[in-house]
Amino acid sequence: MFPSRKTLAVVVALAALPLVTHAAEISEAWARSTVNGQTASVVYLTVTSARPARLVGASSPVAAVVQVHEMAMQGTTMKMRAVEALELPAGKAVELKPGGPHVMLMDLRQSLSSGDKLPLILRIEGADHRIVEQAVSVDVRDAPPMMKSR
């Protein structure tokens, strides 16, 4: 005896459910514009996960290397380093912002101009260790005046 189409549809929907249980809400995503010859940029955004999760990676076709970074003090010097994961506590907005955690775009394949949109894939791991790849459209902007080099 074969299951009905309705039963199959329910089974397929339930089987897919764990794959989206830890997708996160992404807001305020923007990347810093670049000048010709510049090989790196940065993406800032806010991530809110309904359940405990971790941001474990990212990728984009505009960069050969994309990493999640954090800023930390080493003595009196602020250092930037790649991290394996960024914790996303349930229901808490986690800001990736200047001076804090962020996504680095390195070995850029093209310049990033203000007004462009760049595709970014975030890899988010839930407590069940399943990884969801979440697409984000990132606005490219010039750095605010207070962030520009002197």
Q: The tokens of 50 are what?
A: 């309904």
On whether the pTM is more than 0.85, the answer is no
The Cα 48–Cα 126 span in angstroms is: 13
Lowest mean pLDDT among 4-13, 103-112, 134-143: 4-13
| Position 35 pLDDT exceeds 50 | yes
Domain 5-147, CATH number (from 1.20.120.420, 3.40.50.150, 3.90.226.10, 2.60.40.1890): 2.60.40.1890
Least Cα distance to 56 among 127, 136, 123 occurs for 123
CB atoms within 10 A of CB 131: 16
Query: Tens digits of per-residue pLDDT, 83-103?
Result: 999 999 999 999 999 989 999
Tell me the average pLDDT of the chain.
86
Give yes or no for residue 105 having a pLDDT over 90.
yes
| Amino acid code (one letter) for 16 | A
How confident is the model at residue 72, as a pLDDT?
78
Average pLDDT estimate for 69-76: 84
In three-state form (DSSP H/G/I as H, E/B as E, the rest C), the secondary structure along 59-104 is: ECCCEEEEEEEEEEEECCEEEEEECCCEEECECCEEEECCCCCEEE
% the chain with pLDDT above 70: 81
Confidence of residue 143 (pLDDT cuts 50, 70, 90): confident
- Cα–Cα dist 7/11, whole Å: 6
pLDDT tier at 145 (50, 70, 90 boundaries)?
low
Q: pLDDT category, 7, cuts 50, 70, 90?
A: very low
C-alpha–C-alpha distance, residues 115 and 80, integer Å: 27
Q: Comparing 21-25, 28-32, 144-148, which segment has the lowest mean pLDDT?
A: 144-148
pLDDT of residue 144: 72
Domains of the chain, by residue range, sit at 5-147
